[in-house]
Structure 1
Amino acid sequence: MEVLEQPAFEERRFDIGVINVHSANPGGAARIAQVLRHWGYRVRVASGSTDVGYLDGPAAS
């Protein structure tokens, strides 16, 4: 995320369209989206999607 934050801080934000955040951690995804939106990036969050998982199988509940 620092790769995107630093240029935005220096007023040379990347023109990259929409950033898609995919995470099995809804709280972490929300925080990442919040920070990126603060710097003016367009963000879409896919947290909690059944398409998001772990390499060794589904998360334990």
Structure 2
Amino acid sequence: MNAGVGEARVPVILGIDDLRPLPRATRVARSSGEGILLLEEHRGRQIDELWLDHDLGGDDSIMPVVTLLEEAAFDGRPFKISMIFVHSANPSGAETVVRVLRRWDYRVRRATA
């Protein structure tokens, strides 16, 4: 019998949040810079869930990550993400992220913070 046959794939759940523990996440980035590196590591691979917080401490926000996702979609190479959850306590920032990513046909939901 072949090894790996019938084995379930472990879901890839990524989170970008400066404070929350995100216990379901398989990897967590704590800044936009770390988030960009994390996504680049997964370019071309399936991401089951991506959890985004808008405010990442100090002057940092999720917007550089959103720009990366936008540019990838604009170039015809969108990231393979089954669902993006925006869980920020910043309502206007969260709605901006949801609106921008939906414009590029990413599946996005607003989650409670």
TM-score w.r.t. structure 1 length? 0.72
Q: Confirm or deny that 1:19 pairs with 2:100.
A: no
Higher strand share: 2
- Which structure has the bigger radius of gyration? 2
Give the total of aligned pairs.
Answer: 48
TM-score by length of 2: 0.40
Indicate the residue corresponding to 2:108 in structure 1.
Answer: 43
- Secondary structure in 1 aligned to 2:81? coil
Report what 1:8 is aligned to: 73
User: 4+ residue runs of structure 1 moved beyond 6 angstroms?
Assistant: none
CA RMSD of aligned residues (A): 0.9
The 2-side partners of 1:12 and 1:39 are apart by: 11
Residues of 1 paired with 2:92 and 2:85: CA distance?
Answer: 15
Identity %: 52
Corresponding residue of 1:28: 93
